[in-house]
Each structure stands twice: as C-alpha cells, then as structure tokens.
Amino acid sequence: HSALTQPASVSASPGQSITISCAGTSSDVGAYNYVSWYQQHPGKAPKLLIYEVTNRPSGVSNRFSASKSGDTASLTISGLQAEDEADYYCRSYTTSSTYVFGTGTRVTVL
Amino acid sequence: QVQLVESGGGVVQPGRSLRLSCAGSGFTFSTYVMHWVRQAPGKGLEWVAVISYDGIHKYYGDSVKGRFTISRDNSKNTLFLQMNSLRPDDTAVYYCMSVHSDNDYWGQGTLVTVSS
C-alpha cells in the first residue's frame, strides 16, 4: 500500500479555517471507517486528534473535526490558532490488515 | 498514567542487527494491540509493524517485511522489534504505540542510525 496522499502544505491566518485532504484507495481509506489523524510538533511524538473517521479523544479541542467521502478523508481545523502550526498526518487501516500513513501536511499560521 | 519507554537504539553498520524494546506501564499491557512506527530524519511517519494482544497475529510494512520481527513478552510488559539486515534507509526514530479504544499512546522514540 502506497502512502496516502496529502497536500504538502497549507497556510492560513489566525481565526480562519483550513481543510486537509487524505486521498487513498478502495483498499484503505475507502474500505473501512478506520481513519485517524495526528498532529506532530517538531521533536515531539505524534498526538491523536481523530480516530475512526470522526471521533475526538477526550481533551482534543472541538476545533478539530473530520469526515470521509469515498476514498478521501478530510480534517478541518476551525478558528486557526498559533499553536496549531504543526505537521498533520492521516492514517488508515487496509484490506491487508496493515496500516498506512499519509504523506503529511505542514500547517503554517500566517 | 500510560507510559511507553523505548530503548535499544544506536549506531549500527549496514547489514547488522539491532533489537529495540518498549516497556509499557500504567495500563494492562497484555490486552492491547501494539505498533512500531518510524520517522526518518526530516521525513514523515511510516508504519512498521503491529502485533495482536496475544502475540499471535503480526503484520508488517512492505519495506521491512522479511527483515524485521515484532514480538512481545506480556509477562514483562515489553514489546520488541528485532531488526536484521539493516540498511541506511532504516535510519529513523522508532516509536512504539499502544492503541486503546479512544486514544493512542506513544513513547518518546529511540533513534536508530545505520551507517558505516
């Protein structure tokens, strides 16, 4: 399974909303509702933002939301804040019982 | 609280082997699926391997299949990654990850450098 496709970078001003796409195939994103999203700040371990397509772990801001349509998942960050500047990755379970990450998206707050 | 601590990283020559460990605490280790994930310097996350709670089912990423082996010792709350035939492109920070029903937990990572 090839890496899921994400835009390399997205930028916006504070307070605005952004959406990051995660394009896969019918063998991964499109096959199951097992898509997760992670945020990673430099030098830190990734942090889970979303699991099973739309669910937020306890403590994750409701400014983060996600969805899926067909073979593409999306993460939306509303009310962008300076601390949201980080790398974001999607991850999907696959029909081979393996997992695959997205290529990663660098979010810049202007 | 849940804690995962990786160890065993270091500098190794191409073709040699290395064994990573991940000690879990603060949760019932034997009931959770465990993963290894790696990140090459300046690059994205790459999923490496997963093992079922009982150690029976194991799956690997294509780039490590046949060279790496994931295992666990539930009596010692420890996850392992045996890495053989190491290559320079295996250079990365290796993270262990525990998947719970409503959250993931990650260790701080251990750096493996494959270089002559």
Cβ(A71)–Cβ(A53) below 8 Å: no
Chain A residues in contact with B6 (beta carbon < 8 A): none
B72 Cβ contact partners less than 8 Å away, ≥ 6 residues apart: B34, B51, B55, B78, B79, B80
Q: What is the pLDDT of residue B101?
A: 82
* Cα(A106)–Cα(B12) distance, integer angstroms: 31
Interchain CB distance below 8 Å, B102 and A55 = yes
Pairing between β-strand B10-12 and β-strand B110-114 as defined by DSSP bridges: parallel
CA distances, B89 to each of B31, B33, B69 (Å): 33, 26, 17
Chain B residues in contact with A101 (beta carbon < 8 A): 37, 44-47
* Cα(B69)–Cα(A14) distance, integer angstroms: 45
**How do residues B2-51 score in pLDDT, each as one tens digit?**
999 999 999 999 999 999 999 999 999 999 999 999 999 999 999 999 99
* Cα(A50)–Cα(B104) distance, integer angstroms: 10
Q: What is the pLDDT of residue A11?
A: 96
Q: How confident is the model at residue B102 (pLDDT cuts 50, 70, 90)?
A: confident
Tell me the mean pLDDT in the region B58-82: 98
Cβ(B43)–Cβ(A87) below 8 Å: no
